[in-house]
Structure 1
Amino acid sequence: MPTEPVMSREAVIAYLDEVFPQIHHGGPGPVVESVGPLTASLRLPYHERHLRPGGTISGPAMMALADLALYAAILASLGPVALAVTTNLSFNFMRKPAPRDLIGEARLMKLGRQLAVGEVLIRSAGEPDLVCHATGTYAIPPRRN
């Protein structure tokens, strides 16, 4: 297991801003809070653009948070791999999120040459209970020499 990420938090943020500038359109998008060996933690700021009828954070907003958290963990572990793509995502919505920021904690369980498999635990900020548990697989493109 790697002891240090290949990309720092700041490098991951700069890379995401470069390749996904649209993430910030229409209000605040997910924020990379930290990266570590095979991990990343992201915060989704509570904002009306993420709400569904009834005033709770929507499933699609949580899905985007989980997908980006896994991608950030991959970037931190491998470096900038623009063409790593999601091949599978599965979600278990466990309870209604509180009306506050969401925290997504990603952990890669397998990081191979062709596939990365991980999970994301999503909680309302300051709350111990999960609001969502996600698992995902990414295809990693071959490295060019």
Structure 2
Amino acid sequence: MAKLDPAELQALLAEAFPDMREDTWRVEASEHRFVRVRMPFHRSNLRPGNTISGPSLMTLADTAMYCAVLASIGPVMMAVTTTLNINFMRKPAAGDIIAECRLLKLGNRLAVGEVEMVADGEEEMCAHATCTYSIPPHDQRPN
């Protein structure tokens, strides 16, 4: 069972990143070791060629991983990215992108996950990422 539901994750993102546009991410589902995050279409995410930019997809992958970790361990806001590897597989159309993140390993100090990203309405992945997060030790977490 998830420690944080989609509404709680959404509120944490808004609190942790107060300068983020309100419509940047939408957490649609959260379970233990899984989340689905939607990046609603915004023209600022486009690159030449009318496609979603690589940096936008990388940010979505990292955000989905962060949410999966928090959904699984609770509001440990200082969990941080240590690695992110991404493969761009096809040109996504200008539209919403949906990321599904599954944690492959969830330990006391590290979490490893994979993120599959698809353009809304498509079946084939536009990008696939693997991420590792460092989780602070219990004695360094806020009470």
Interval containing the TM-score (normalised by the shorter chain): over 0.9
Contact 2:50 2:93 in 1 (8 A): no
**Letter aligned with residue 10 of structure 1:** A
Of residues 134-143 and 28-37 in structure 1, the stretch that sits farther from structure 2 once superposed is 28-37
Structure 1: runs of 5 or more not aligned: none
- Shift, 1:71, TM fit: 0.5
Whole-Å Cα distance in 2 between the matches of residues 13 and 30 of structure 1?
8
Whole-Å Cα distance in 2 between the matches of residues 95 and 142 of structure 1?
39
Q: Quick one: which of 46, 69, 78 aligns to 2:73?
A: 78
Query: Structure 1, residues 86-128: CA drift from partner, whole Å, max 9, x if none?
Result: 0000000000002210000000000000000000000000110
**Letter aligned with residue 12 of structure 1:** L
SS of match in other structure, 2:19? helix
Whole-Å Cα distance in 1 between the matches of residues 90 and 27 of structure 2?
24
Whole-Å Cα distance in 2 between the matches of residues 80 and 137 of structure 1?
17
- Shift, 1:74, TM fit: 0.6
User: Could you state the TM-score of these two structures normalised by the residue count of structure 2?
Assistant: 0.94
Query: Structure 1, residues 58-80: CA drift from partner, whole Å, max 9, x if none?
Result: 00000000000000011110000
SS of match in other structure, 2:123? coil
Summarize the alignment of residues 86-125 of structure 1 with structure 2, pairs less than 5 Å apart: 86-125=81-120
**Letter aligned with residue 104 of structure 1:** A
Whole-Å Cα distance in 2 between the matches of residues 54 and 106 of structure 1?
27
- Is 1:12 the equivalent of 2:37? no
Superposed CA RMSD: 1.1
**Letter aligned with residue 8 of structure 2:** A
- Shift, 1:21, TM fit: 1.6
Q: Quick one: which of 126, 132, 140 aligns to 2:121?
A: 126
User: Could you state the TM-score of these two structures normalised by the residue count of structure 1?
Assistant: 0.93
SS of match in other structure, 1:23? coil
Whole-Å Cα distance in 2 between the matches of residues 21 and 106 of structure 1?
24
- Shift, 1:23, TM fit: 2.1
Whole-Å Cα distance in 2 between the matches of residues 48 and 19 of structure 1?
24
Structure 2: runs of 5 or more not aligned: none
